[in-house]
Amino acid sequence: MSAKNPSLIGGALIIAGTVIGAGMFANPTATAGIWFTGSLIVLFYTWFCMLSSGLMLLEVNTHYPHGASFDTMVKDLLGPVWNTINGIAVAFVLYLLTYAYIFVGGDLTAQGLGNFLGTPVALPVGQLVFFLILAVCVWLSTRVVDRLTAIMIGGMVITFFWATGGLLGSIKLPVLFDTQAAENTRYWIYAAAALPVCLASFGFHGNVSSLLKYFNGDAPKVARALWIGTLIALVIYILWQAAIHGNLPRNEFGPVIAAEGQVSVLIETLSPFASIGHMGSLLTLFAYLAIATSFLGVTLGLFDYLADKFKWNNTLSGRSKTAALTFLPPLAACLAFPTGFVTVIGYVGLAATVWTAFIPAMLLYRARNRFPNTAGYRVFGGHILIVWIFLFGVVNVAAQLLSRFEMVPVFKG
């Protein structure tokens, strides 16, 4: 396959790999209040809105040179104030996620190396090994990320179905649909806690400009990659929800919620209700692959954003400068403050709403006024979609703030 004809499935897997991160383990916990039926509605709603806002960014991106990212588009269409706000939000989310993935991925790498070598491996060593291998792939090219992501997505699918096959086969419909709950049981009062987590579970918008450049400006092909990639993620999320909500009763979720969705606690709580076998080891491997693919996708988006921001070209010198600014700050922060992200990780969804909902809607509105008769890719929906996505942002900000300040009911199990 020539470099001039990049693979559609490769692009789709970059999106799927970016979307399916370790955050998926938080989904069953965050949606326990609204339970399975409610979680399906919220997941479909969030998937549609996040996919639509990504396609809106794609349409706007087609009016600019290949490689142009948020900085170019927002500065040109919305002005310097919004560009500053958006730049802070993009940098905050992508740097913080990179930071978190280095920490968690490094911890799992250290454990794996320790088991392989038969001797404990220090956390910083695991972080450096995890970081160096994946960072070099992003520095080399999007094509290398494409190939490595495809391999790891294949491993994720295998380990996911291997780990959850027994759970999917043992789903109990009365548990899945909570048919034995008391007559006055309420579900939708807990929706505010579910929305922000689901939004964070469908983040890929930093990769839209990367894919448009990778596909040599073929916007319809990028759109197909976004559809396929996000649908892969949606299917995996739904199956995971069914596997957990179909076996662990809603009123038994208390310990898992208290542990904030920790995998080991989830497995321990599940064990009296279903045969879990080697599920713990397999889910650990799945989580590792999910973290690695998300690291590749997130840092690829950050890499291209910074290259556009500072107008560094695609030469060895330009890519090296971009890579240094992409990777060294979060690595240094992770080595110096290995648990500092805990205090701010809860605000990732709030900051992400800026550039996954508000900015795409405003950009498309301005772009269609600026380029009214331009032929080329156009996202469906017209002005109705623009209003819909802007309101999606409003709903999520309200849900996050109400949940953060405990102004809405919180499900405890």
pLDDT tens by residue, 182-216: 888 899 999 998 998 899 889 899 889 989 988 98
Could you tell me if 33 and 197 are in contact, meaning their C-beta atoms sit under 8 angstroms apart?
no
Structure confidence at residue 391 (pLDDT): 97
What is the rounded distance in angstroms from the CA atom of residue 26 to the CA atom of residue 160? 16
Which residues touch 366 (CB under 8 Å, ≥6 apart)? 77, 78
Structure tokens at 210: 């990367």
Structure confidence at residue 224 (pLDDT): 96
What is the rounded distance in angstroms from the CA atom of residue 212 to the CA atom of residue 234? 23
The SS3 of residue 312 is coil
What is the rounded distance in angstroms from the CA atom of residue 405 to the CA atom of residue 403? 6
Residues written for the chain: 413
Per-residue pLDDT band at 23 (split at 50, 70, 90): low
Which residues touch 398 (CB under 8 Å, ≥6 apart)? 192
DSSP 342: G
Environment class of residue 252 by beta-carbon count within 10 Å: exposed (0-12), middle (13-18) or buried (19+)? middle
Kindly report the pTM of this predicted structure: 0.86
Is pLDDT above 90 for 268? no
Structure confidence at residue 338 (pLDDT): 65
Which residues touch 141 (CB under 8 Å, ≥6 apart)? none
In degrees, rounded to 5, the angle at the alpha carbon of residue 248 between the alpha carbons of residues 243 and 252 is 155
Sign of the Cα pseudo-torsion (370, 375, 379, 385, in order): positive
What is the rounded distance in angstroms from the CA atom of residue 63 to the CA atom of residue 61? 5
What is the rounded distance in angstroms from the CA atom of residue 361 to the CA atom of residue 391? 10
Which residues touch 250 (CB under 8 Å, ≥6 apart)? 32, 35, 175, 178, 181, 413
Is pLDDT above 50 for 380? yes
Average pLDDT over every residue of 137-161: 85
What is the rounded distance in angstroms from the CA atom of residue 322 to the CA atom of residue 306? 6
Could you tell me if 226 and 204 are in contact, meaning their C-beta atoms sit under 8 angstroms apart?
yes
**Cα separations in angstroms, 111 against 105, 114, 153, 356:** 10, 5, 22, 35
Residue 345, CB-side half-sphere exposure with 13 Å CA sphere: 14
Distance, first Cα to last Cα, the chain: 52
Per-residue pLDDT band at 339 (split at 50, 70, 90): low
Could you tell me if 46 and 202 are in contact, meaning their C-beta atoms sit under 8 angstroms apart?
yes
* Average pLDDT, rounded, for the chain: 87
Structure confidence at residue 50 (pLDDT): 97
Structure confidence at residue 367 (pLDDT): 94
At 18, the amino acid letter reads T
Q: What are the domain boundaries of the chain?
A: 8-70+141-300+340-405
Alpha helix positions (H), 246-381: 254-258, 263-270, 279-310, 316-336, 348-353, 359-370
Structure confidence at residue 1 (pLDDT): 35
Average pLDDT over every residue of 99-112: 84
Is pLDDT above 50 for 3? no
What is the rounded distance in angstroms from the CA atom of residue 267 to the CA atom of residue 283? 10
DSSP string over 343-356: GTGGGHHHHHHIII
Rg of the chain on CA atoms, in Å: 21
Average pLDDT over every residue of 133-156: 86
Could you tell me if 69 and 304 are in contact, meaning their C-beta atoms sit under 8 angstroms apart?
yes
Could you tell me if 368 and 386 are in contact, meaning their C-beta atoms sit under 8 angstroms apart?
no
Structure confidence at residue 166 (pLDDT): 82
